[in-house]
Amino acid sequence: MIDWVLCLLVAGFLGRFPHNNWPPLILIIEYAFFIGLFGQTPGMWIMKIACVSVADGRVIGIPRAFLRGLLLSLLVPALIMDRQRRGWHDKAAGSIVIETRRS
């Protein structure tokens, strides 16, 4: 939700809000950049979660993060999850969302 609000704010500067198509595109680009390189979007950092490779726990890279963001923008993949709470977008990207809280 935090990332979506940030995308809406950025879209407000790029076009006449709310009648533009920028927010979903900005969200996909944000996910590709931040998750691909750092494993977290600004919203994920605030919530202390990260999106990493299910295979090795490392960042997933820009192409896989782009795919994840693209599928996530369709909403349907996020509504259907398995026992690990991985939606179709995570399965397609080979990713998993984990907690980053340190005690």
> Which residues span the domain enclosing 79?
24-99
pLDDT tens digits, one per residue of 9-62:
887 777 665 566 778 888 899 999 999 999 999 999 999 999 999 999 999 999
pLDDT tens digits, one per residue of 59-103:
999 999 999 999 988 876 677 888 888 888 999 999 999 999 765
Asked if residue 13 is part of any domain, the answer here is no
What DSSP assignment string belongs to 21-58? SHHHHHHHHHIIIIIHHHS--HHHHHHTEEEEETTTSS
Which pLDDT value is given to residue 80? Answer: 83
Which pLDDT value is given to residue 20? Answer: 66
Which pLDDT value is given to residue 75? Answer: 75
In our burial notation (b when 16+ CB lie closer than 10 A, e otherwise), range 34-47 reads: bbbeebbbebbeeb
Which pLDDT value is given to residue 19? Answer: 60
Whole-model pTM: value is 0.85
Count structural domains, the chain.
Answer: 1
Which pLDDT value is given to residue 41? Answer: 95
